[in-house]
Structure 1
Amino acid sequence: MYTVIGPIQSRTMRVIWMLEELGQPYQHVPATPQSDSVVQFNPAGKVPVLIHDGTPITDSTAILTYLADRHGHMTYPAGTLERARQDSLTQFLLDEFDAALWLAARHSFILPEEMRLSAIKNTLRWEFEKSQKQLVHRMGEGDFVTGDQMTVPDIILAHCLTWALTAKFPVIEPRLSDFLQRMRDRPAFQRATAS
């Protein structure tokens, strides 16, 4: 059994959703970042943390990749061109979607008030919209980011789009809005968000 540490309103949701998609049992500990329950496994105090066989794994993307590889599902085999494309799209989402949203969050409520630059959010929204257009051209022809198979980048993208709407970053591409609705309709997504 896996143990997942972190609140569902964070990137922890990605890990719980992946475990639900995989049908794997897990225990959820909704400890907050920087709490003793988190720091004992991740000195940086960041969530999520996945504990497997007594070993902590940190960073949501590393955890998703580990779970997909371990269970041979929601990923293409390592060393294939399909996996290279999957990894490329994952990195694009982290660089262009996740990073913009994280930077906006830092300047909204994470950094000390005197360090926040509220005007940066206008630039980040512009970049986020530009990135959406680029992503749509890179996506496969099927229902998922890489095509007909759900993979790690689907979880990252759906989480980022949900986060974007909460942060008032518009989703301007209809294909991405349709994608997000399909992901939200998945039973595993609904179980994860009900946690």
Structure 2
Amino acid sequence: MAEALTLYTNPMSRGRIARWMLEEVEQPYETELVDWANKSDAFLAVNPMGKVPTLVHGGRVITECPAICAYLADVFPEAGLAPDPADRHAYYRWLFFAAGPLEQAVTSKAMGWEASDPQKQGMLGFGNFDRTIDTLEQAVKDAGEGWLAGDRFTACDLYVGAHLSWGTQFGTIPRRDAFMAFVERVTDRPAAKRASELDDAAMAEMQGAGAPAEADA
């Protein structure tokens, strides 16, 4: 019997990325919607940070969105969402580039925390916003009609694509041609469409119940 998968999420959060990944691996899972204003003791016992997404698989707890993506790709290899271990250099590079430098650069700029002093930029994990965005744009261009880690779509494409989709939609990432083309390709996947429909329905359900739908990590 397959071990149970449970996703703790909110449809206005990074939990949308984890749901997309679950739809890609095509395994049955349960969803527990988290209301920011009324986090249950049961959820806080699973993740004391009170953050989503949180995934529980057969009693094992996985937090942090890129970790959830990488974990699901590994435990369900039949989905083909990770390259062979010997060929994961680009896969790991861009998965963690998005989780580290990209998210830090976007968040810092949105908060007005940009450092103009080169010495201070050297203390940051991303240097500066423009360099980070230019680096990712070149990677997407270099991928061409392929993907970031080779000829096959993988979890790193999903994770990077989710960041680009969200950022270009809400203006935190510039709408460059290469980014928009990449977003169109990844969000056209059947699993992405299923996940979006499920989260949109969950959002309507929560708003109908009066729960606040604010973004969280």
Same fold per TM (> 0.5)?
yes
* Counterpart selection for 1:35 from 23, 30, 39: 39
- 1:91 and 1:10 map into 2 onto residues whose CA distance is 19
Task: State the alpha-carbon separation in 1 of the partners of residues 108 and 56 from structure 2.
Answer: 27
Partner in structure 1 of residue 73 of structure 2: 68
Greater RCO between the two (CA within 8 Å, min separation 6)? 2
Letter in 2 for 1:120: W
Alignment correspondent of 1:100? 105
Q: Identity percentage over the alignment?
A: 27
RMSD: 2.5
Q: Does structure 2 retain, via aligned residues, the 8 Å contact 1:12–1:60?
A: yes
Q: Does 1:83 align with 2:95?
A: no
Q: Which consecutive residues of structure 1, in runs of 5 or more, have no partner in the other structure?
A: 108-118
With structure 2 as the length reference, what TM-score do the two structures score?
A: 0.73
Residue 26 (structure 2) pairs with residue 23 (structure 1)? yes
The change in CA–CA distance for 1:134 and 1:35 in structure 2 (over 3 A counts) is same
SS at match of 2:165: helix
**8 A Cα contact 1:38 1:49, kept in partner:** no
Change (3 A) 1:28 1:122: farther
How far residue 29 of structure 1 moved from its aligned partner, in angstroms, is: 1.2
Total equivalences in the alignment: 179
Measure the CA separation in 2 of the matches of 1:127 and 1:172. Answer: 18
Gaps of 5+ in 2: 117-126, 199-217
Query: Structure 1 pair 62/178, CA: closer, same or farther in 2 (3 Å)?
Result: same
TM-score normalized by structure 1? 0.80
Report the alpha carbon displacement of residue 144 of structure 1 after superposing the two structures with TM: 2.1
Structure 2 match to 1:49: 54
Structure 2 Cα separation of the partners of residues 162 and 141 of structure 1? 18
> How far is the alpha carbon of 1:131 from its aligned partner?
2.0
1:113-152 pair list within 5 angstroms: 119-120=112-113, 127-139=128-140, 140-152=143-155
